[in-house]
Amino acid sequence: MSKALKAFIIAIAAMGVLRFILTVSGLPNNVVKYFSMTAIMTIAQVYFAAVTSSHKERLKVSFFLVMPYMIVEVLALGYTWASGRQTIFHASEYTMGTSIRVHTIGHLVGGLTWEPLLVFAVMEVFWLIFTAARSVFKVKAPAS
């Protein structure tokens, strides 16, 4: 595992923990929403689309990027479920009308199945864009 991947994993997890701390401390959701694990994951997707050398490597990276996100989400939803205390992790704009139980199980199952595949698909799109741009501008790919 590269140092960059480790750094992104730590950054995603740290942002999730910070988001949890802010929401249980009582900050309103319209403030907490700007502390985004998804933003860090998006930056990571662009970065790894540019620096990885194979589809298999990008697929592996996609699972590693989703794991800290999924773990924080499931733990935070578990807290909400167990305590009954509302957090941003189960705010109405993120639940699609589901119960806390369905939302938690959905993140657990999604984090192990379709979510990493979606991250991979996005990385593949960025990779295609970078590959096309490199060929047009005759730029070598960075070493991974």
Please give the Cα distance from 83 to 52 (Å, whole number).
42
What pLDDT is attached to residue 135? 84
Q: How do the pLDDT tens digits run along the chain, 144 residues long?
A: 899 999 999 999 999 999 999 999 999 999 999 999 999 999 999 999 999 999 999 999 999 999 999 999 999 999 999 999 999 999 888 888 899 999 999 999 999 999 999 999 999 999 999 999 888 887 676 665
What pLDDT is attached to residue 17? 98
In whole angstroms, what separates CA 44 from the centre of its chain?
A: 9
Q: Which sequence spans correspond to the domains of the chain? A: 3-137
As given in the structure block, the two tokens for residue 135 are 């060929």
Helices 3-24 and 55-83: crossing angle, nearest 10°?
A: 20
What pLDDT is attached to residue 9? 98
What pLDDT is attached to residue 144? 57
Please give the Cα distance from 29 to 44 (Å, whole number).
24
Alpha helices in the chain (DSSP H): 3-24, 29-32, 37-51, 55-83, 92-95, 100-112, 114-137
What pLDDT is attached to residue 105? 92
Check residue 84 and report its DSSP letter. Answer: -
Q: Are 15 and 40 in contact (CB under 8 A)?
A: yes
What pLDDT is attached to residue 92? 83
Q: What is the pTM of this model?
A: 0.90
